[in-house]
Amino acid sequence: MTDFTYSVDANGVATITWDVKDKSMNVMNLKGFEDLDALIDKAIADDKVKGVVITSGKKDFAGGMDLNIIAKMKASAGDNPAQGLMEGLMQSHSILRKIERAGMDPKTLKGGKPIAAALPGTALGIGYEIPLACHRIFAADNPKAKIGLPEIMVGIFPGMGGTTRLVRKMGAMAAAPYLLEGKLLDPQKAKGAGLIDEVVADPVAAAKDWVLSAKDADIVKPWDQKGYKMPGGAPYHPAGFMTYVGANAMVHGKTQGAFPAAKALLSAAYEGALVPFDTAIRIEARWFTNVLMNPSSSAMIRSLFINKEALEKGANRPDVPDQKVAKLGVLGAGMMGAGIAYVSANAGIKVVLIDAKQEAADKGKSYSEGILDKGMKRGKVTEEKKAEVLGRINATTDYAALDGCDLIVEAVFEDTGVKADVTAKAEAVIPETAVFATNTSTLPISDLAKASKRPGQFIGIHFFSPVDKMLLVEIIKGKETGDVAVAKALDFVRQIRKTPIVVNDARFFYANRCIIPYINEGLRMVAEGVQPALVENAAKLLGFPLGPLQLVDETSIDLGVKIAKATRAAMGDAYPDSAVDEVLFAMADKGRLGRKSAAGFYAYDEKGGRLGLWDELGAIWRVSEDQPELSQVQHRLMMAQVLEAVRALEEGVLEDIREGDVGAILGWGFAPWSGGPFSWLDILGAEKAVAICERLEKAHGPRFAAPKLLKDVAAKGQTFYGRFGATAKAA
Ligand code: NAD
């Protein structure tokens, strides 16, 4: 069975229909390319065929390349993988170029067969690169469809001609949002932007009509015509010059040079613009090979696509029946409770939102209203949708309203007593089968479960702030948490379309356990006299969205003080962070609590806009004359988090390194180019990591001692992904 079928109608129009069996969405693989190639040859060779329409047998056109295959391409490309990849890519290019040239005489540009793409719905990645090679693109008027090139989001770039063709079609400036940001458009907007040609009710019929009426001149691409000029100007044209200089600066400003794919994309676009089309394609293929050879691309694809999807589909879900949530109770309508109520109601779940006072409950509900109003202003939400979502939220103080809730998420104050009180009140009303979850960020789940009559149905569901934006949800199993509760939490997270990780109960669970040492390392360096700007920039150059000082400003310095005091109380003499507290407490004493007080490690204007680092910092913590090397600061910031991730695995808090990697990127923006802490260690090599730890331990203390597991992986010459196998399970 092939992925493409072929038929010719009475008018002589051949239709090539893409329909991958047993998949809801078409994706391209190597065999698919071969099949398509053979059918294009057949259509061009057949005198009875006047033109070709390429379409799909599904509701969408295609989701893109099969990324599982891209991830494996390097490994299967033989002894000289770069050469193997380059040859493979050029073969695929030749198929698309064949479509574009359509059998025409290369000199006279006559005699080719018109080939049109008819897109019933979504067309992404190669699913848009094939249409780009066709002579005209028709799309159904389907507002749910998305068209574009999202490759950059998973660490690659459009490398099947998409970069070269889009830049030549619309100019570098106009193409930039689609190539560099992976911006996707619905068909109407895609037509407005010039990505496609026509939006029609029946794209196949329209495409057939068009191929029958198209003339020779209609099927010659502008770049194959004499005197072609690139829209917006080529690089050495004054306007083009500005574009490329500007784009380079913009990309570097956004990525700090930490994302190889963005750099390679720019190089392919720039160098390609200086040469004829066929050479530009070779250049694109070369840069694409370069990106595929970079371990960052396979690590990003593995974490941000393959493993993220596996976790979302329930890779670690216990085998129990469907636990979808029908009625949710949210206790506490503060910042977190309000957000949880919104994302749940928005996903179609009925919500009872409880607070101690009616005003507070109403305020929590009005948070949803605010988000929906913003959505309406942007044309994304209709009046009906707003009414529907708000209609699902019952804001009340009455616990009796929790009757019939199958899941409770508690988000009241971070206080064991208050939490115990609301647990008892809710459990008095909810069905015996209901699951009770706490959103605590610091209190052990097993301790909070003591307040529950049913500790087997008690679990942690830890959201990140702001709830409607953050993609990760950490599910925490207490000592007695049973399988049904885990499945319930996972099914709930799936309903609200977020990504779950499942971890065991230990101080700060997983994400905060790693984030806190990152912040603390930054604060320690300030106390030691390292330039605060060096600390922040070192983090940004590693690809972190926020440096540690900005991060603590965002999460608030008084929260840091609270956590430090509680940790010290719990750990007693073993508490290792006095140097950190010195900095944190001094800032809190000055009332500099971070963004919320418009004063912290950074200065802020009256409107709360962040200015530069606070210039008094140097007066409080004298900046040393001898500053460390950038790489040393980076090693400290990186290892502070990564070693914690390894310890979490070693101690069984993490059970699956995939969760450790995906959770780190989605939870706190851990250097996405690396694929996560375990992928980073694999890229670096465990042996080298141990050597770095030894140096850091000598200079800065035992917190950098390499964990036993890391030493063992190094001693055995292993990698984390190699050792923990195909499923990446630690068990
Ligand atoms: P918040 O102070 O904004 O909200 C708490 C709400 O609970 C308030 O509206 C309060 O009136 C209500 N409340 C207190 N006692 C109550 C009671 N007995 N009955 C009913 N309602 C009661 O706090 P928050 O930031 O939303 O945090 C809530 C929980 O989520 C905490 O456990 C916190 O640790 C956790 N959490 C917070 C964050 C964060 O970034 N803020 C992130 C993850 C988890």
| CA distances (Å), origin 449, targets 2, 28, 273, 479, 539 | 55, 49, 63, 9, 38
- Rg from Cα positions in the chain: 28
The pair of structure tokens assigned to 515 is 């984030």
Same domain flag for 527 and 500? no
Does ligand 1 have an atom closer than 6 angstroms to the CB of 632?
A: no
Same domain flag for 482 and 540? no
pLDDT at res. 80: 87
Does ligand 1 have an atom closer than 6 angstroms to the CB of 467?
A: no
Least confident of 51-60, 225-234, 470-479, 521-530: 225-234
Beta-carbon-side half-sphere exposure of residue 656 (alpha carbons within 13 Å): 21
Residue 623 has pLDDT above 80, yes or no: yes
Exposed, middle or buried by CB within 10 Å (0-12, 13-18, 19+), for 245? Answer: exposed
When divided into structural domains, the chain yields a total of 3
Do strands 472-477 and 458-463 pair parallel, antiparallel, or not at all (unpaired)? antiparallel
Least confident of 134-148, 228-242, 587-601, 657-671: 228-242
- In CATH, what number is assigned to the domain containing residue 633? 1.10.1040.50
Same domain flag for 534 and 659? yes
pLDDT at res. 571: 87
- What does the pLDDT look like over 163-187, one tens digit per residue? 999 999 999 999 999 999 999 999 9
Same domain flag for 68 and 181? yes
Report which of residues 1 and 349 the model is more confident about.
349
Please report whether residue 193 resides in a domain. yes
Q: Distance from CA of residue 565 to its chain's centroid?
A: 34
Please report whether residue 303 resides in a domain. no
Please report whether residue 552 resides in a domain. yes
Same domain flag for 486 and 341? yes
3-state SS, one letter per residue, for 330-390? EECCCHHHHHHHHHHHHCCCEEEEECCCHHHHHHHHHHHHHHHHHHHHCCCCCHHHHHHHH
Cα–Cα distance, 376 to 309 (Å, whole number)? 30
Cα–Cα distance, 664 to 553 (Å, whole number)? 20
Question: What does the DSSP assignment read for 676-692?
Answer: SHHHHHHHH-HHHHHHH
Does ligand 1 have an atom closer than 6 angstroms to the CB of 335?
A: yes
- What does the pLDDT look like over 430-444, one tens digit per residue? 999 999 999 999 999
Which residue, of 458, 482, 505, is where some domain finishes? Answer: 505
Does ligand 1 have an atom closer than 6 angstroms to the CB of 463?
A: yes
How far does residue 511's CA lie from ligand 1's centre (Å)? 19
Residue 638 domain boundaries:
508-731
pLDDT at res. 728: 53
Q: Which of 363, 439, 442, 507 to mutate to test the pocket of ligand 1 (most atoms within 8 A of CB)?
A: 439
**Residues 6+ away with beta carbon under 8 Å from 630:** 534, 538, 541
Average pLDDT over residues 665-678: 96
Same domain flag for 187 and 238? yes
Average pLDDT over residues 242-267: 89
- Residue 197 · residue 138 · CB < 8 Å: yes
**Number of Cβ within a 10 Å radius of residue 70:** 23
Same domain flag for 491 and 598? no
Please report whether residue 582 resides in a domain. yes
Strands of the sheet with 327-331, listed across from one edge: 393-396, 350-354, 327-331, 407-410, 435-438, 458-463, 472-477, 499-504
Which residue, of 272, 293, 314, is where some domain finishes? Answer: 293
Q: In the structure, what pLDDT confidence band is assigned to residue 505 with cuts at 50, 70 and 90?
A: very high
Beta-carbon-side half-sphere exposure of residue 204 (alpha carbons within 13 Å): 16
Cα–Cα distance, 580 to 564 (Å, whole number)? 9
Amino acid at 541: L
Does ligand 1 have an atom closer than 6 angstroms to the CB of 290?
A: no
pLDDT at res. 730: 47
**Residues 6+ away with beta carbon under 8 Å from 702:** none
Closest to 509 in 3D by CA, of 448, 557, 550, 553: 448
pLDDT at res. 150: 96
Average pLDDT over residues 223-245: 89
Cα–Cα distance, 651 to 656 (Å, whole number)? 12
Residue with tokens 């193409």: 175
pLDDT at res. 731: 40
Please report whether residue 60 resides in a domain. yes
Does ligand 1 have an atom closer than 6 angstroms to the CB of 332?
A: yes
How far does residue 532's CA lie from ligand 1's centre (Å)? 32
CA-364 nearest atom, ligand 1: 9
**Residues 6+ away with beta carbon under 8 Å from 607:** none
Q: In the structure, what pLDDT confidence band is assigned to residue 79 with cuts at 50, 70 and 90?
A: confident
Residue 373 has pLDDT above 60, yes or no: yes
Does ligand 1 have an atom closer than 6 angstroms to the CB of 195?
A: no
CA-333 nearest atom, ligand 1: 9
Residue with tokens 């893409």: 18
Q: Which of 366, 399, 412, 668 to mutate to test the pocket of ligand 1 (most atoms within 8 A of CB)?
A: 412
- In CATH, what number is assigned to the domain containing residue 201? 3.90.226.10
Average pLDDT over residues 679-689: 98
- Residue 462 · residue 653 · CB < 8 Å: no
Please report whether residue 232 resides in a domain. yes
Residue 698 has pLDDT above 90, yes or no: yes
- Residue 97 · residue 134 · CB < 8 Å: no
Cα–Cα distance, 127 to 195 (Å, whole number)? 13
Same domain flag for 449 and 570? no
The three-state secondary structure class of 7 is: strand
Please report whether residue 724 resides in a domain. yes
CA-418 nearest atom, ligand 1: 18
Closest to 559 in 3D by CA, of 723, 335, 397, 400: 335
How far does residue 336's CA lie from ligand 1's centre (Å)? 6
Same domain flag for 489 and 523? no
CA-440 nearest atom, ligand 1: 32
Q: Distance from CA of residue 196 to its chain's centroid?
A: 26
Q: Percent of the chain having pLDDT more than 90?
A: 88
pLDDT at res. 76: 76
Which residue, of 505, 536, 565, is where some domain finishes? Answer: 505
Average pLDDT over residues 413-417: 94
DSSP class of residue 595 equals G
Buried b (16+ CB within 10 A) or exposed e, 250-278: ebeeebeebbbbbbbbbbbbbbbbeeebe
- In CATH, what number is assigned to the domain containing residue 446? 3.40.50.720
Residue 593 has pLDDT above 70, yes or no: yes
Please report whether residue 710 resides in a domain. yes
pLDDT at res. 729: 56
Return the C-alpha torsion angle 445, 449, 454, 457, nearest 10.
-10
Residue 705 has pLDDT above 50, yes or no: yes
pLDDT at res. 727: 57
Nearest protein Cα to ligand 1, atom 39: 465
Same domain flag for 258 and 360? no
Residue 114 has pLDDT above 70, yes or no: yes
Does ligand 1 have an atom closer than 6 angstroms to the CB of 367?
A: no
- What does the pLDDT look like over 4-44, one tens digit per residue? 999 999 999 999 999 999 999 999 998 999 999 999 999 99
Alpha helices in 294-334, H assignment, sequence order: 295-301, 308-312
Same domain flag for 534 and 598? yes
Q: In the structure, what pLDDT confidence band is assigned to residue 315 with cuts at 50, 70 and 90?
A: very high
The pair of structure tokens assigned to 281 is 């394609």
Residue 591 has pLDDT above 90, yes or no: yes
Same domain flag for 56 and 28? yes
